[in-house]
Structure 1
Amino acid sequence: MTDRIPLPLPHSFWLHLVLPRAGVLLALVVIGTALRVPVGLLYVLLAADVVLFVKQALRFQASADNHLRGMGGMTLIWGGYLVLLVLVFASISLWWGAFLFAGQPVEPPELFTDRMDRQYAAEYELTLSDDHTSLTFNGTITHGLTKRVTTLMAENPQLDTVILTSIGGHIYEARGFANLIRAKGLNTTVKGDCSSACTLVFAAGTQRGLSPGARLGFHSYALEFGPALLNLDLKKEQDKDRAFFRSQGINESFLIQMFDEPSTGLWYPSRAEAQQVGLLTP
């Protein structure tokens, strides 16, 4: 039996060195970034890669020796050695990354409800003052707000004022927020505009005021999506909230017209009007 004849050096460079190692490096990129492999299995794969790399190097060296015997120059050989050195460092780096990735704790996938809560919470800001006596709400009244405010109020019993800036939003969440304010006997004030469902939250305050330039905006109710839903009567919903305003001492003359403005517009009563009908407290 005769020994295997080494391939010509250029062929060996590509077939024994570059192409197999490129496949290994590509696999290491996947293992180190996307495919989480158990650490024990990584050690087995590492040992197999070391054996493979040694065989690659030996085959290239055999071709290099044969190249020299054929009176070939050293340029191709030194070029192959340089590539071999680069491949060594690349392999070490990727193997290190693969072990680091495998050792990272696996975080459980985010629950759908948690993701939705996070997305809704991004639509508004809740900020406590330094002395924790006032809570500023800025943004859209949306799902999960009542739950968050309940927690904040429980953690900060010294709260006495809620500062509002909002274009409105979900009326059921506004009712929840308003009931919390009324139950705690908190005061409310507006900074900027407080429109639509926000006015219900404002009306819940024991003492109610407007900062300079602030406005209250009122309009009739409308569904956020499409035509009226079954079993939902917008007039009854308006009457329900009109009764809430009445219970907060708002004048009946204002209650009659508070929902007259179409849902596509806003009615901003003047500060004097708001004072006269009881929206603002002395």
Structure 2
Amino acid sequence: MTDAQNRRPYVDPTLVDHHAPRAAPEPAPEPAAWQQSSNRPRPAGERPARTRVVREAQRGYFARHWHGEMSLVRSYWVNNFLVATPLACLLTGLMTWISVKGDSLQVSAISLLVTMPLLLALNLWCIVGAWRAAANYLRESGSALWGWLARITLALSTLQLLASVVFGFLPSVGEYWSMARGVDPLGQAKFSFSADGRSLRLDGVIGMGDGERLRQLLNSEAARDLKRVELASPGGRVREAERMAAALKARGQASRAVGTCASACTLVFLAGQPRHMTATGELGFHRASTGTYNPVFEELANQQLAKTYTELGLPQPMIDKTLRTPSRSMWFVPRDELVSYALIAPAPPTLAVPLPAANATLADFDDALHMHPVWEALDKRTPGTVDDIAKRMLAAHQAGASEEEVQATVLSPLARQMPDLLGGTDAVLRHRYVQLVSDQLKALRAPAAGVSAGACRELLDGRLGVRPQLPQALQAREAQWLQDVANGTLPHRQPKPVNALEIEVLERTVGPTAMGMLSRLWVDAPEAAKPGVAASCDPVIAMLDRLQGQPPARRDLAERLLFQPSR
């Protein structure tokens, strides 16, 4: 290396006086401006960049994401969008599935209670790390559009997660804990066989395990003579109801709504064949509810409900109206609409009972009478009515009587109840019956096809055998009146006995023959006509027509006296 290349001057060491005092060293030249920044004192708390890089390199993947040290692309799209969003949907979906389907409720509840804290922690890690990465991205002059879009979507994800926890999980923690212990917080249905083993009744909420319980009962020895499953339930677990429906269809069992059968209970009812509904029965439909505030899962649950209803034969118009009915309300379908869609058998229009097969037993006649709304209502008002009539019908059937003669056996027990029915009703229903009797007499007054001569007078004299000659419409009106009276409530106060003054007023205004004019209508013990009594019904019909023009109070009194024997 030459002296020109060496910046320090060359000094010959042999010419230097080592005993002479040394000169002061020349000061170092001023460093260039670009070199001065490296010599400035570093502010307190700031660590060297190299140390920071080393420490960041030593952190794991989870820690780097948590501190926002990853790129926004990886933190948001990979760690948050591909992890946090599916997990939030998984939580909501699991809660929805438990509330709607109910498969393996105990295992599902245990899994939810165990995994929920872990999933929440993972969601928190995803959202916080992505938020910090977005902040660093904006601090480093990244695109404001992408940075704030990321923050907005993260805020929405946080709200969705909080909604799932606050409105979905926390209010149901107690229920999940009960289900994890094998206890359904909704409760369970109560099953009971009738004394003769022909009916299995389901009462109460349909809960966890009820589908399997019903299947085992239907396959048990106790159900050997079972004819129907009677339902009175407000609903419950949809999945359990689907299992019950499958059990009924597999056995080909009949179903009968004996009370309110609503929500999930309707699935069980529709699975029966044939289907019946008693006078007190009713069917209620509404949308399915998942218990969450996620409209996506609500829609999925109701699509599944619509599919199940379609498989069970529910008409599409009824499905559409069901899905339009909010889950917090109920649509009770009118009986006429159920009949029009052939979902239930129509009620017999008259007092005639659909007779069972030739080898019918007493229980078969008893079933047929209980399925008739009029006889069912009369039996509830006067217990033992159905048993008495069933024995009479069976005896006539075994004696080889014709169908008309078997049907006629129901009239004698009814005749014994008519005085109490007429005396224990209100003025409105009594007035309806007087109008009905007037129409019956007019229909039998003129001889016609199928009507014997003198049938009108025979009806007034209490000959029950003439009643089948009445027109079908009038028989149906009488059956409806009997049902209304039997299902009605008894008056709180019985009317006072008629005094002599009231009788005198009636005799002068209406006529002396009004009292007791219809007292023999249901005597079932006809006697010879009294002397002086016309064989024609015209005077009676005219009297009933005159009553319509009387003041309401006087007319009500007269109509009450029509059925009381004259003194």
TM range (shorter): 0.5 to 0.7
Alignment partner of 1:146 is 2:211: yes
Contact 1:254 1:277 in 2 (8 A): no
- Cα distance in 2 for residues equivalent to 1:260 and 1:215: 19
Contact 2:203 2:233 in 1 (8 A): yes
SS in 2 for 1:168: coil
Question: Counterpart of 2:246?
Answer: 179
Alignment partner of 1:260 is 2:327: no
After the TM superposition, which residues 11-30 of structure 1 pair with which residues of structure 2 at under 5 Å, given as runs? none
Alignment partner of 1:116 is 2:182: yes
- Cα distance in 2 for residues equivalent to 1:231 and 1:257: 16
Over the residues paired in the alignment, what is the CA RMSD in angstroms? 2.6
Structure 1, residues 55-105: CA drift from partner, whole Å, max 9, x if none?
A: xxxxxxxxxxxxxxxxxxxxxxxxxxxxxxxxxxxxxxxxxxxxxxxxxxx
Structure 1, residues 92-123: CA drift from partner, whole Å, max 9, x if none?
A: xxxxxxxxxxxxxxxxxxxx989625x67953
Letter in 2 for 1:144: G
Give the C-alpha shift of residue 154 in structure 1.
1.2
After the TM superposition, which residues 122-271 of structure 1 pair with which residues of structure 2 at under 5 Å, given as runs? 123-155=188-220, 156-224=223-291, 227=294, 233-246=300-313, 250-271=314-335
Structure 1 residue ranges (4+ consecutive) displaced by more than 6 angstroms after TM superposition: 228-232
SS in 2 for 1:123: coil
SS in 1 for 2:273: coil
- Cα distance in 1 for residues equivalent to 2:252 and 2:227: 8
Question: Counterpart of 1:279?
Answer: 343
Give the count of matched residue pairs. Answer: 167
Moved more, 229-238 or 186-195: 229-238
- Cα distance in 1 for residues equivalent to 2:254 and 2:328: 30
- Under a length normalisation based on structure 2, what TM-score does the superposition of the two structures give? 0.27
Give the C-alpha shift of residue 225 in structure 1.
5.4
- Cα distance in 2 for residues equivalent to 1:122 and 1:263: 19
SS in 2 for 1:194: strand
Give the C-alpha shift of residue 267 in structure 1.
0.5
Q: Percent identity?
A: 27
Letter in 2 for 1:273: E
Identify the structure with bigger relative contact order (alpha carbons < 8 Å, sequence gap 6+): 1
Give the C-alpha shift of residue 260 in structure 1.
1.7
Letter in 2 for 1:219: H
SS in 2 for 1:136: strand
From the CA coordinates, give the structure whose radius of gyration is larger. Answer: 2
Structure 2 unaligned regions, length at least 5: 1-177, 347-567
- Cα distance in 1 for residues equivalent to 2:225 and 2:293: 43
Structure 1, residues 207-260: CA drift from partner, whole Å, max 9, x if none?
A: 1111112211000111145646879812321222122232xxx43332332322
Contact 2:302 2:323 in 1 (8 A): no
Residues 113 and 233 of structure 1: CA distance in aligned 2, closer, same or farther (over 3 Å): closer
Contact 1:124 1:138 in 2 (8 A): yes
Letter in 1 for 2:236: G
Residues 230 and 134 of structure 1: CA distance in aligned 2, closer, same or farther (over 3 Å): same
Contact 1:126 1:138 in 2 (8 A): yes
- Cα distance in 2 for residues equivalent to 1:121 and 1:157: 31
Structure 1, residues 20-67: CA drift from partner, whole Å, max 9, x if none?
A: xxxxxxxxxxxxxxxxxxxxxxxxxxxxxxxxxxxxxxxxxxxxxxxx
SS in 1 for 2:230: strand
Contact 1:132 1:158 in 2 (8 A): yes
- Cα distance in 1 for residues equivalent to 2:217 and 2:180: 18
- Cα distance in 2 for residues equivalent to 1:125 and 1:181: 17
Give the C-alpha shift of residue 183 in structure 1.
1.1
- Cα distance in 2 for residues equivalent to 1:172 and 1:275: 27
SS in 2 for 1:140: coil
Higher normalized strand content (fraction of residues): 1
Question: Counterpart of 2:45?
Answer: none
SS in 2 for 1:169: coil
